[in-house]
Amino acid sequence: MANYKVGTQEIEKINADALVVICEEDGVLAQSSNKVLRRHWENFHQAVKDRKSSREWFCTLEKSAGCTTSHLLLESVAFGGPGNHDEPLKSAAARAVAMCRQHSLRRVAFIVHHKVAPLKAAAILEGVILGDFEDNRYKSNPLSRPELDIQIVVSKEDKKETRAVLERTKIICDAQNNARLLVNAPHHELTPRGLAREAQLLAKSCGLQCEVLDHKKLKASGYEPTWQVGRGSEYPPCMIILRHRPKKPLRKMHIGLAGKGMTFDSGGLSLKTKETIFKMNRDMAGAATVLGVMEAASRLDLPIQMTAVITAAHNAVDGAAYYPGAILKAKNGKTIFVENTDAEGRLILTDALHRLGEEGSDIIWDYATLTGACMAALGPGIAGLFTDDEELRTVLVQAGNQTGDDVWPLPLVPEYKPWLNHTLADVSNLSRIPIGGAIHAANFLSHFVPKGARWAHVDLAGPSNTERPWRYYSPGATGFGVRLTVEALRLLTGENK
Ligand code: BES
Ligand code: MG
Ligand code: ZN
């Protein structure tokens, strides 16, 4: 965790252990009146030009510089232009704090002089908070990690705006890191009921309404798919509903968020292999994203009516488990032939989508680690976006560009829809044609979207997790989708909050 404050001091007066300047070609130090700093900058710049130095320059700062700070760290990156997100800047900030930690420098000051300093400051803080995340809950003897003191130093004119932007950044990134903690947790710790408990705690701490339907209520209410998927486990399934009801919603719209909360996906009787099964505690990343978005929405006091529905289950195998060949009835009345018990995410999402209709949502976005096929199509870094609604597609793609939570549109091909037909039931959970699996899953979901609702589906099987260091993320959960959604909501409502 990192504390931060915004300052406007002159460089010499900054009270910190390390000064960090992340610069483009003509960085701020190029014009500095401080000769020592300027010389460091020129040497660094020349070395980068001559390709003698990497993008980093780390040194102790000699007394003659007249600074209170002991170390100087320079980084050279290409800043993002319009329509191009600031990922390199965030990564540079993350590298900077990692280097400072290595050298036990706890108080770190970033100097941000730029035409759009508040936005660049936000990117830096984002890189710091997301990059400094370390999940050591399960280590018996974790290294102690002192809290960092971060200063973001801007010009006096930029101070007010920077403060406001950073407050927002901090709320969003903290919510995202909370989502990462949920995704990393093993299945026996974060069971469906455990997920419900987390939602209740969150609701209490930030003023959301929370309702949980346990497995008995699920069955009694006709949410059969979720009940069926979860019935083979000793950790029973449930439905979690969170509501954000601002006092003065500015628009009539009612946003509904659905999250796949598979706290473990063994594949069921259509069992997964040992190569993939051990990762399947993370199959609730969609649910974690939705919780993160609700946390951020309520802490930011977004003036939008929002409801989240998470269906949570543990897809396991025992004598009572649901079987391939079962025929289920979804709550909208459609019957589903279960050809493969590993295509379970789409089953439990039918209940979440339906419930959002009952809750009155007119714009519904769902988040799910739904298909390996989506990862095969787009690789590990990008989520698949499915929607026939042009405005939703535009805001989500733009939000992805602006936040670094990249999404790429994939088509809901109407000609593929009949491939889900079944002779005995209305629809099968598996396509007759196996290739293009991400599209079939999305087409399947489209059968269960409440009438009249505008819908978008985000398949985040790839980017919800990273096996290797990626941008500013260490291996593990990324919390993908929190920033995306909060930004998309801002674009959709035109609110500058
Ligand atoms: N949870 C998986 C999808 C997944 C795979 C997420 C890899 C993250 C990493 C989902 O429930 C699943 O098993 N999907 C199947 C669908 C198939 C049986 C049609 C898949 O993608 O193989
Ligand atoms: Mg599965
Ligand atoms: Zn799954």
Residues 251-298 have pLDDT tens digits of 789 999 999 999 999 999 999 999 999 999 999 999 999 999 999 999
Q: Which of 109, 127, 155 is the last residue of a domain?
A: 155
**Smallest Cα–Cα separation from 334: which of 450, 454, 452?**
450
User: Do 269 and 402 belong to one domain?
Assistant: yes
pLDDT at position 229 over 80:
yes
Question: What percent of the chain is predicted at pLDDT more than 90?
Answer: 88
The protein residue whose alpha carbon is closest to atom 3 in ligand 1 is 371
Q: What is the pLDDT of residue 31?
A: 77
Residue 163 lies in a domain: no
Q: What is the pLDDT of residue 227?
A: 98
Q: Write the CATH number for 58.
A: 3.40.220.10
Mean pLDDT of 118-127: 96
Domain that holds residue 225: 175-493
Q: Are 164 and 122 in contact (CB under 8 A)?
A: no
30 and 84 Cβ atoms separated by less than 8 Å: no
Of the residues 122, 155, 188, the one at which a domain ends: 155
The reply to whether 389 falls in a domain is yes
Same domain as 193, residue 82: no
Residue 478's alpha-carbon distances to 131, 197, 450, in angstroms, are 10, 22, 30
| Sign of the CA dihedral running 431, 433, 437, 438 | negative
pLDDT-derived band at 363 (thresholds 50, 70, 90) equals very high
| pLDDT score of 83 | 60
* Residue found under tokens 């919603």: 249
- Within a domain: 168: no
Residue 26 has pLDDT above 70, yes or no: no
What value does the mean pLDDT take over residues 383-406? 97
- Whether 108 is in a domain gets the answer yes
pLDDT at residue 497 tops 70 = no
CATH code of residue 333: 3.40.630.10
Burial of residue 199 (CB within 10 Å: 0-12, 13-18, 19+) is buried
Q: Is residue 475 part of a domain?
A: yes
CA-to-CA separations, 297 to 65, 306, 344, 403, 454, in angstroms, rounded: 45, 9, 29, 16, 20
Q: Are residue 63 and residue 132 in the same domain, yes or no?
A: yes
Closest ligand to the CA of 263: 3
> What is the structure's pLDDT at 28?
73
CA contacts within 13 A on the Cβ side of 180: 27
Closest-lying ligand 1 atom to the alpha carbon of residue 369: 6
Within-domain flag for 170: no
Residue 428 Cβ inside 6 Å of ligand 1? The answer reads no
Residues 387 and 421 in one domain: yes
pLDDT at 55 over 90: no
The Cα–Cα gap between 223 and 231 comes to 12
CA distance 210 to 278: 31
Q: Which atom of ligand 1 is nearest to the CA of 429?
A: 19
100 and 249 housed in the same domain: no
The pLDDT of residue 364 is 99
The response to whether residue 339 sits with its C-beta less than 6 Å from ligand 1 reads no
Residue 99 pLDDT greater than 60, yes or no? yes
* Residue 349 near residue 260, CB atoms below 8 Å: yes
Catalytic center residues: 272, 346
Same domain, 233 and 102: no
User: If pLDDT is split at 50, 70 and 90, which confidence band does 81 have?
Assistant: low
Residue 8: strand, helix, or coil: coil
* pLDDT for position 114: 82
Are 184 and 149 in a shared domain?
Answer: no
In a domain, 235, yes or no: yes
pLDDT at 25 over 70: no
pLDDT score, position 316: 98
Which of 98, 126, 155 finishes a domain? 155
Closest residue (by CA) to atom 13 of ligand 1?
342
Decide: 420 in ligand 1 pocket, CB within 6 A. no
The closest alpha carbon to 438, from 356, 334, 368, 337, belongs to 368
- Name the token pair of 490: 């801002």
Is residue 477 over pLDDT 90? yes
Are 275 and 242 within one domain? Answer: yes
* Residues 6+ away with beta carbon under 8 Å from 318: 232, 233
Number of Cβ within 10 Å of residue 265's Cβ equals 27
Mean model confidence pLDDT for the chain? 95
Is position 161 within any domain? no
Tell me, yes or no, whether 268 and 298 share the same domain: yes
Instruction: For residues 278 and 325, state if they share a domain.
Output: yes
User: Within this chain, do residues 221 and 312 fall inside the same structural domain, yes or no?
Assistant: yes
Per-residue confidence (pLDDT) for residue 54, from 0 to 100: 74
Is the confidence at residue 231, as pLDDT, over 50?
A: yes
The whole-model pTM stands at 0.97
SS3 at position 308: strand
pLDDT at 488: 98
Atom of ligand 1 at shortest range from CA of 345: 11
Amino acid at 19: L
Check: CB of residue 110 under 8 Å from CB of residue 93: yes
Q: Does ligand 1 lie within 6 Å of residue 348's CB atom?
A: no
**Number of domains making up the chain:** 2
Residues 399 and 335 in one domain: yes
